[in-house]
Structure 1
């Protein structure tokens, strides 16, 4: 649909303002308005709307499905292992996985509505709840990453103080409860001032709040969601890296030298994992924040193709899907649990579809393999794997 030339300027300004929210929550308004303006321009997606639907549909589906499956896997592994649950950092990682999972789930309706491109098709009450929940889980994810950074900083740089705090379950509960409550307070404007507006279609947009107030609120989001976490976490992890990889890292008062080396190695791996997770978050959100700063703070109009703007919002959603991948790559415990899940899935497929498994190779269990094989290496591999799982250390 081509926009009316008389209203084209106002439509573009409104679309840019909506896009700069920094999350997929406002993609519906931005997509419908900017696509109408750019419909007359020669581009691959505008000439082939089916290709546009297929490409971005597949991208959204892959990101959301992989993120949901990965975060559910992380939640299940931590909850089912008592040793993991006894560690404070794992409890923070559990809550972070819950926040990322909620963000992906409640962003899915907006992703579908963007591809349909017919405005807001859901009930009016869903506008308030979806906008609130999307921002709620996004704020919680950022605050939890800051809480994890503080927890690791205390555990590495002030172990005695952290040990005194970690023995109190109420301390961890109060910190986690405070994070979720603060996230709810920051996201409350979306519940109060989001409503249904009409502009050729029905949209879920800001309602009952002035443009100046919205601009100030977006400045606060820039500071809380991006600037403060970037400076704060960069400072904390820089200090932790100097302690772990410097001379101070070998000065822990531990009698057993081998135990000292094992703890130091484990702490280094955990910090590496958290630094990668932090970097991916800021890499995913930096492009949108840069556009917002250029357009609002520097008063410089940024003209980007609609598909590129949509791709930047896809990148912001992808930040909630990358954490499980980082955990599995960096943490041995999650890799072993993923291997066990894959083995269980393979055994289930062999049981459900025996005709596919018995073509050339038989699906046999581990006890049958041990009985049939006379090689001593079979039992050696099995016992070594069992011992490694028994002696597996949890995240410190």
Structure 2
């Protein structure tokens, strides 16, 4: 997520002549930015204008997931692109802290939302009667409050430890990086905590929930219309989770390698870091595509929205 390793690599591999990635990577990020802003804004617009039939707990979670993805794209992709295209950080100390805090918050809000959706699916399928009083939009919004507070609390160290440092041979250049000086090994401990509670543990909870959901769905009547609808929703949400896990895995591997292994700052590892960035950022523009392919209701709502705009 953060630019620490990439900024260090830029400082280590810096050269006067332009590098290919200074053009290629920003171009890729520009494509991700445009697709992600359009797709997530479309999802938000559809969910905000739909009638009562779309106002349920699942859509509350999808709405907040789209908001998290949209904020991630806005506060991450453009600034990350400048790291590859500009020789130094030019946005000042406030934006250095704010950008990275927003990036971490939205990443964590996304995975916590996926956990909330998995638990919601478990309650809807395995305990449909007893969970009726719990699975209400009001309860979902309360869960979202918890999600965002947890995400911001976990990301709060970025407000403290990101700073502007000067580096350069011919002239002093400013870079936005993490500075963990107070306690030895503090950064590796935080990275391990973030990996455990922001990736591994959530995916374990999600896996358990969906395994129980699939087991129950396979044991019930397959010809039931309600059962088919539940299977479609579950399939779509599982795809969203799998895509998230795959896209963010390289990012976490690189972070663990940097903090717990012997990470060589070579061109090969630099390219691997580029790949991990592209994979992570691409995730924020993929969910609307998944909805479009797997949700008939979403495609119908988009069509109705388009007709409304023409009218």
Q: TM-score, normalised by structure 2?
A: 0.89
Change (3 A) 1:333 1:209: farther
- Between structure 1 and structure 2, the one with the greater Rg is 1
Counterpart of 2:51 in structure 1 is: 82
Counterpart of 1:353 in structure 2 is: none
**2:125 is aligned with 1:162:** no
**2:172 is aligned with 1:172:** no
Question: What is the DSSP-based 3-state SS (H/G/I as helix, E as strand, rest coil) of the residue aligned with 2:189?
Answer: helix
CA distance in 2, matches of 1:30, 1:107: 18
Offset of residue 171 of structure 1: 2.4
Aligned CA-pair RMSD = 2.5
CA distance in 2, matches of 1:24, 1:316: 11
**2:78 is aligned with 1:105:** no
Question: What is the DSSP-based 3-state SS (H/G/I as helix, E as strand, rest coil) of the residue aligned with 1:196?
Answer: strand
Query: CA deviation digits over 1:283-302, x for unaligned, max 9?
Result: 111123233444544x3546
Query: CA deviation digits over 1:279-324, x for unaligned, max 9?
Result: 1111111123233444544x35466342332121111111111111
- Mapping of 1:1-396 within 5 angstroms? 23=1, 25-26=3-4, 29-36=7-14, 49=19, 51-167=20-136, 170-200=138-168, 201-207=173-179, 208-244=181-217, 246-247=218-219, 249-250=220-221, 261-294=224-257, 296-297=259-260, 299-301=261-263, 304-339=268-303
Change (3 A) 1:67 1:127: same
Change (3 A) 1:30 1:284: farther
CA distance in 1, matches of 2:45, 2:5: 32
Structure number with greater CO (CA < 8 Å, separation at least 6) is: 2
CA distance in 2, matches of 1:157, 1:135: 33
Offset of residue 52 of structure 1: 2.8
Offset of residue 166 of structure 1: 2.5
Query: CA deviation digits over 1:201-220, x for unaligned, max 9?
Result: 21112235445111100110
Matched pairs, number: 304
Question: What is the DSSP-based 3-state SS (H/G/I as helix, E as strand, rest coil) of the residue aligned with 1:161?
Answer: coil
Question: What is the DSSP-based 3-state SS (H/G/I as helix, E as strand, rest coil) of the residue aligned with 2:89?
Answer: coil
Counterpart of 1:14 in structure 2 is: none
Question: What is the DSSP-based 3-state SS (H/G/I as helix, E as strand, rest coil) of the residue aligned with 1:165?
Answer: coil
CA distance in 1, matches of 2:91, 2:253: 32
Q: TM-score, normalised by structure 1?
A: 0.71
Contact 2:69/2:285, CA 8 A, preserved across alignment = yes
The answer for unaligned runs of 5 or more in structure 2 is none
Contact 2:25/2:81, CA 8 A, preserved across alignment = no
Offset of residue 189 of structure 1: 0.5
Question: What is the DSSP-based 3-state SS (H/G/I as helix, E as strand, rest coil) of the residue aligned with 2:90?
Answer: coil
